Structure 1
Amino acid sequence: MASANRPHVFFLMCDELRADSLGFMGNSIVRTPHLDELAQDSVIFEQAYTNCPMCVPARASLMTGRNPLSHGILDNAMRMVEDEQPLPELLREHGYTTTMYGKLHVHRTPEQCGFDEFMNGSPDPYTSFLGIKEPEMRRKSSFKKNEGDIPLVIHGKSPTPPDQTSCSRLTEAYIDRIQDVPHSDHPIFHYLSLLDPHTPYMPTQPYADMYDPAELPLPDNAGRTLADKPITQRYFHKVRGFDKLDAEDYRKSMSSYYGLVTHVDDRIGKVIAKLKELELYDNSLIIFTSDHGAMMGEHGFIEKWGHMYEPVVRIPLLVKLPGGHNGGMRHQSFAEIIDIMPTVLDAAHIPIPEGVQGMSLLPVCRGEKAVHRTEAHSLYYCGSIHTEPALMIRDARWKLTHYPEQENIHDKLYGDHYLKYSAFFDQPLVEGELYDLQRDPYEQNNLFDDPAYIEIKEGLLSKLRSWKEGLGPLANYRGLEQANMNTVYKFILDQTNNWTKVAHAIQGQKGLTQCKRQQPVNVEQ
């Protein structure tokens, strides 16, 4: 049974939802009335950041309250260090019923994460992650896939009826489970994780025609050159086929994406309505967020991959306190996705484990503290092309990213890769980015190698080194030593020579049943 010390927790999460695509975050085009209404009763964190703009690392950080460098999942093909203890497991140990509806995606089973109940959801009858499955239906449909590695639908219309999408059916199942909550003897942690608005960007009707592409303004940096950007960005822009897209594609992607956002808003509205009907809304902790954002033509990118621009690292974050205290209050100080786990524990009066790197948001939510964080951190890593992750730090004005050891990307490509020994890698090596976000919010003028800003750059690099060293022992992330052998993605391996590494790991290490930590590696190595 819920109480003031052990409130029900309703956790609502989307995938690939950028912060500025919502009405309460200032978007005047997208219709999100239900989330806007929830925001009126919630504390709004306007500067919330993911610790990695990639699904599995972000979700593992949310679950553990720890950074990817510590829990071991730095890209989608890796897995956690064995002794990580996820949030649901801690809640269950303290009397909570823990339920999970939707996308988990941390390379552990629901049981291993501490969930009592789990529903994956039935697949969409016509579409899949990669597009429309049935040939006849595909011929009748309108859509476009990017021409490159990981070909995903970047705009189109789904033939699935709106009440039959996997998102809709999952939400209905989640709502059905809410019916039993008032009769339970235990407080509940009820987790809904929706795939939308993740690719494929194929909303169903009426959402598919809700936003006219011709009327959507492009961002100021749409299609901008990447000549002064790190090779990692140029590489993904090329191999994903984003260099073949134009302004019409950006607008159509935006239209499809916005349709998915409004579809999600309607699903969340149904959840909130049920909570109010059952008189669960007022005294529960409700959290709404996303794992990372997406690009809609900024710098020529769609979706994500290879960078840490604001549209992918900034996420929405609402915290509705029991009793609705400080509803509508907006916070400008930084929050990170690792802060969610200790926030839930704090609200449930459960001790926060010593190794948790996140900090509870409740003191600032209650008005007991004015500033939560003065800086935000994130990282990007792809084990097939990187030996060290790119790291990001930003404060109220400046944002710096550092991409170490980029010269290794060419060496790791397999011999017949079409970019091997090409002029592509003869371009100047750019080791990082530095932006004055007050003057350059679209991150167009890279000051990293500008002598006039060397003191600012060195100061931020020093802070980045100190932050990394302060994390303590790190997971052994180099190469594929911490790969999840059951779910290593072919598209990641195909980009380089890692098939031999996988074979060696499987034969010599028996599937890597034991993941170990390593000592901190200097950010400049």
Structure 2
Amino acid sequence: MADTRPNVLFVLTDQERYDCSVPESLDGSGSESPTGGGAAPAVEGVLAPPVETQAMDRLSRQGTRFEHAVTPISICSSARASLLTGQFPHGHGMLNNCHEDDAILPNLSPDIPTFSEALADAGYDLTYTGKWHVGRDATPEEYGFSYLGGSDKHHDDIDEAFREYRRERGTPVEEVDLEEKIYTGEDPRDSSEGTFVAAKSSIDVEDTRAWFIAERTIEALEAHAEGSRASDLESDSADAAGEDRRPFFHRADFYGPHHPYVVPEPYASMYDPDEIEPPESYAETFDGKPRVHENYLAYRGVEGFDWELWSEALAKYWGFVTLIDEQFGRILATLENLELAEETVVVHASDHGDFAGAHRQFNKGPLMYDDTYRIPLQVRWPGVTEPASVVREPVHLHDLAPTFLEIGDVEIPESFDARSLVPLLEGNGGDESDDRGSGQNEWPESTFSQYHGDEFGLYSQRMVRTKRHKYVYNGPDVDELYDLAADPAELQNLIDHPEYADVRRTMRDRLIAWMVETDDPNRGWVPEALRQAD
């Protein structure tokens, strides 16, 4: 009997800001118009920048967009491990990036259940292209996927597929001319020091890793349509025609728009730096903020960056987003051409965001602003999601783990500390509760995120966020409280404001509830410290 469960196409971008793909077709109330057109006013505090994201916008028009999705942690390996396991970082143990010398864990424990292994065991055919970054040694192959190429030598060195592709095209990865280069440090044009931030590449679009990952994804979709198995795709032998088709799960992980923001034409000059205005948060004074915020400017090497330099880098970042979006468009077109669109759930998300000059910061770090913690999340499920619908309930990136399993009619492991988004996708989210929510018809009013430090050392933080407020616990320094409606740029820390005393208490209670419910290892002493703080 034919397996009628839907296919899943999951496209994950790397360090994409939420506001890059806020659709332009919005009315003054923040609701979306399926017809498009018009300017982009603020959406719950977000002013959409003029970034061309036609594929992502199309996904929002045809499906559901989540307005308050956050990552459980704003660092690559940790967030991706959470996505696989449905657990917060303190649960799966990958607290920082696996490729650095200071990695707490070099690989995700094989004993922790993952959604991918559960789908594979339940008969799904799983394929994977692009970035991995969940282990130095362990690869997608060990978690139920067949890996089809596209790895990056810095974070993952899984195969030679992309490098061989470039050699065959006559444009070896190591021999590319770059222009308009920007580096951190005292001299932003000096490549001998600092971190590589942005540049214009001399290669063709077809030479980019984004193109290659899309191309391998298209090949995978074509093979799935023909009835080939993942093992056949991996060995380049697609002669499995006639076998009963299994539903597929394909994951395409783009290396971008993570820095360095290196793009070829036309993307390198698509956005004019002279026409890019500073975000409101660029007025950051660091007054009343944890000391590490201002110190991080020097640590990241951007203390001397002015807006002229930031706008040049941001223009490349936006160009990178558009480059990836157009590759996503190629993938969506392939689904249509193969007549797979109606039987395939399409999901787009990002592991976390990017400062890209907001708060005058670079990359990410111990700063729990929406620039890096709020993420894009869009889902198109034909016959289930209502076109141009918006979900305003707060959700987590790793809520996708149980969501994928429920879509595939697979039992969700008890180890998952996440909730399936299927009720929200069906429009049956129900009433919100006062804390995390405990009933089938309830949904939490808040999300919970954390940070444990990366390159510069451990730095424990916890964050609870509602649609209106955000509270950040900073053990070694002052805590933070923001009114996201009155101050969407998060410039004014209200932690000691007398008029926000009740909000502070409520948000601390929410944080304590999350820590207790998720068995946070700091729950033994932080709750009492917070209770005594008022």
Q: Counterpart of 1:234?
A: 294
Write out aligned runs for 1:316-327 (5 A).
Answer: 316-323=376-383, 325-327=385-387
Deviations 1:95-152, CA, capped at 9 Å, x for gaps: 11111100011113222222133423415969xxxxx954x835xx221111189933
Write out aligned runs for 1:411-450 (5 A).
Answer: 430-450=477-497
Match of 2:464, SS state, is: strand
Match of 2:526, SS state, is: coil
Q: Does 1:523 align with 2:526?
A: yes
Q: Counterpart of 1:33?
A: 54
Distance (Å, rounded) in 1 between the aligned partners of 2:133 and 2:274: 36
Distance (Å, rounded) in 2 between the aligned partners of 1:114 and 1:232: 40
Q: Does 1:52 align with 2:73?
A: yes
Distance (Å, rounded) in 2 between the aligned partners of 1:336 and 1:234: 28
Match of 1:24, SS state, is: coil
Distance (Å, rounded) in 1 between the aligned partners of 2:77 and 2:278: 29
Q: Counterpart of 1:394?
A: 465
Shift of 1:454: 3.1
* Percent identity of paired positions between Structure 1 and Structure 2: 30
Deviations 1:428-480, CA, capped at 9 Å, x for gaps: xx421111111111101111133443332233223212211211375xxxxxx
**Structure 1 pair 368–3 and aligned structure 2 pair: CA distance change class (3 A):** farther
Shift of 1:155: 3.0
Deviations 1:243-271, CA, capped at 9 Å, x for gaps: 11111122112211110111011100000
Match of 1:289, SS state, is: strand
> Any conservation in 1 of the 2:96–2:452 contact (CA below 8 Å)?
yes
**Structure 1 pair 281–98 and aligned structure 2 pair: CA distance change class (3 A):** same
Match of 1:272, SS state, is: helix
Deviations 1:385-438, CA, capped at 9 Å, x for gaps: 55552011111211110111x3xxxxxxxxxxxxxxxxxxxxxxx421111111
Shift of 1:153: 2.8
Match of 1:378 among 432, 440, 449: 449
**Structure 1 pair 66–78 and aligned structure 2 pair: CA distance change class (3 A):** same
Match of 1:444, SS state, is: coil
**Structure 1 pair 68–12 and aligned structure 2 pair: CA distance change class (3 A):** same
Q: Does 1:332 align with 2:392?
A: yes
Match of 1:78 among 100, 104, 108: 104
Match of 1:275, SS state, is: helix
Deviations 1:294-341, CA, capped at 9 Å, x for gaps: 113221112222211111111110111143631211111111111101
Q: Counterpart of 2:323?
A: 263
Aligned length: 448
Q: Counterpart of 1:453?
A: 500
List 4+ stretches of structure 1 deviating above 6 A: none
Match of 2:212, SS state, is: helix
Q: Counterpart of 1:492?
A: none
Shift of 1:82: 4.5
Distance (Å, rounded) in 2 between the aligned partners of 1:85 and 1:233: 36
Q: Counterpart of 2:233?
A: none
Q: Counterpart of 1:106?
A: 134
Q: Does 1:147 align with 2:185?
A: yes
Shift of 1:78: 3.3
Distance (Å, rounded) in 2 between the aligned partners of 1:373 and 1:151: 42
Q: Counterpart of 1:512?
A: none
Shift of 1:28: 5.3
Distance (Å, rounded) in 2 between the aligned partners of 1:466 and 1:33: 40
Distance (Å, rounded) in 1 between the aligned partners of 2:454 and 2:207: 37
Distance (Å, rounded) in 1 between the aligned partners of 2:49 and 2:361: 23
Distance (Å, rounded) in 1 between the aligned partners of 2:22 and 2:505: 38
Q: Counterpart of 2:170?
A: none
Write out aligned runs for 1:45-444 (5 A).
Answer: 45-76=66-97, 77-79=103-105, 80-107=108-135, 108-121=138-151, 122-123=162-163, 133-134=174-175, 137-138=177-178, 141-147=179-185, 151-184=194-227, 185-323=245-383, 325-370=385-430, 372-382=443-453, 389-404=460-475, 406=476, 430-444=477-491
Query: Which stretch shows the higher mean deviation, 174-183 or 188-197?
Result: 174-183
Alpha-carbon RMSD: 2.4
> Any conservation in 2 of the 1:292–1:314 contact (CA below 8 Å)?
yes
Structure 1's unaligned 5+ residue stretches are 127-131, 407-429, 475-518
Q: Counterpart of 1:496?
A: none
> Any conservation in 2 of the 1:145–1:151 contact (CA below 8 Å)?
yes
Match of 1:144, SS state, is: strand
Q: Counterpart of 1:17?
A: 16
Deviations 1:502-524, CA, capped at 9 Å, x for gaps: xxxxxxxxxxxxxxxxx854336
Q: Counterpart of 2:509?
A: 462
Distance (Å, rounded) in 2 between the aligned partners of 1:116 and 1:323: 29
Q: Counterpart of 1:515?
A: none
Distance (Å, rounded) in 1 between the aligned partners of 2:359 and 2:22: 24
Distance (Å, rounded) in 1 between the aligned partners of 2:223 and 2:110: 34
Distance (Å, rounded) in 2 between the aligned partners of 1:302 and 1:151: 12
Deviations 1:347-378, CA, capped at 9 Å, x for gaps: 11100011211111111111122454310121
> Any conservation in 2 of the 1:147–1:241 contact (CA below 8 Å)?
yes
Shift of 1:205: 0.5
> Any conservation in 2 of the 1:153–1:202 contact (CA below 8 Å)?
no
Shift of 1:34: 1.7
Q: Counterpart of 1:506?
A: none
Q: Counterpart of 1:484?
A: none
**Structure 1 pair 257–348 and aligned structure 2 pair: CA distance change class (3 A):** same
> Any conservation in 1 of the 2:150–2:209 contact (CA below 8 Å)?
no
Distance (Å, rounded) in 2 between the aligned partners of 1:374 and 1:172: 40
Instruction: Give the aligned residue type for 1:30.
Output: V
Distance (Å, rounded) in 1 between the aligned partners of 2:292 and 2:276: 29
**Structure 1 pair 86–78 and aligned structure 2 pair: CA distance change class (3 A):** farther
Instruction: Give the aligned residue type for 1:458.
Output: R
> Any conservation in 2 of the 1:380–1:389 contact (CA below 8 Å)?
yes
Match of 1:305, SS state, is: coil
Distance (Å, rounded) in 1 between the aligned partners of 2:356 and 2:422: 33
> Any conservation in 2 of the 1:17–1:198 contact (CA below 8 Å)?
yes
> Any conservation in 2 of the 1:155–1:249 contact (CA below 8 Å)?
no
Distance (Å, rounded) in 1 between the aligned partners of 2:288 and 2:114: 40
> Any conservation in 2 of the 1:14–1:193 contact (CA below 8 Å)?
yes
Deviations 1:486-514, CA, capped at 9 Å, x for gaps: xxxxxxxxxxxxxxxxxxxxxxxxxxxxx
> Any conservation in 2 of the 1:60–1:68 contact (CA below 8 Å)?
yes
Q: TM-score, normalised by structure 2?
A: 0.79
Shift of 1:166: 0.9
Query: Which stretch shows the higher mean deviation, 317-326 or 199-208?
Result: 317-326
